[in-house]
Amino acid sequence: MSDEPESTQESAEADTRAVDRRDLADVLFLIRHTYPMAILATFQTSHTDTKGFELQDLEFPEGYPDLSEAELAKLAARVWDLLASISWDSIMDEDEGGSVTIDLREFNPLDP
């Protein structure tokens, strides 16, 4: 029995993770560029079967005003195309409820 199908599947999964990482990095870069004082970004799995996340919230340091619902919705729409293709259970490390919070202070766009 050949290992080729399994290694082909592993290769495809690695390719998917690489694309997911790039898309997530683009999303986080856009958030940091648009709202440089944002410290946390919360995402939730979308209403599809196995992929896609939606931006749910941005948190700012104490004393910094929160985004209005309209501002958050505008940003969420801007990043949707990138988030829509990120696979569940891949790179986001979402919890059982499908939620993940990323500390933007630790994001380095130059990290692979």
Does residue 112 fall inside a structural domain? no
Instruction: Judge whether 96 lies within some domain.
Output: yes
Residue 111 is assigned to a structural domain of this protein: no
pLDDT per residue over 49-70, tens digit each?
A: 778 899 999 999 999 999 999 9
Angle at 20 between CA 101 and CA 87, to 5 degrees: 75
Question: In this predicted structure, what is the pLDDT of residue 6?
Answer: 64
Sheet holding 40-45, edge to edge: 53-59, 40-45, 99-103
Best mean pLDDT range from 3-7, 10-14, 72-76 = 72-76
pTM comes to: 0.82
Quote the pLDDT of residue 2. 44
The whole domain housing 30 covers: 4-106
Count how many domains the chain has: 1
pLDDT of 18-43, one tens digit each? 889 999 999 999 999 999 999 999 99
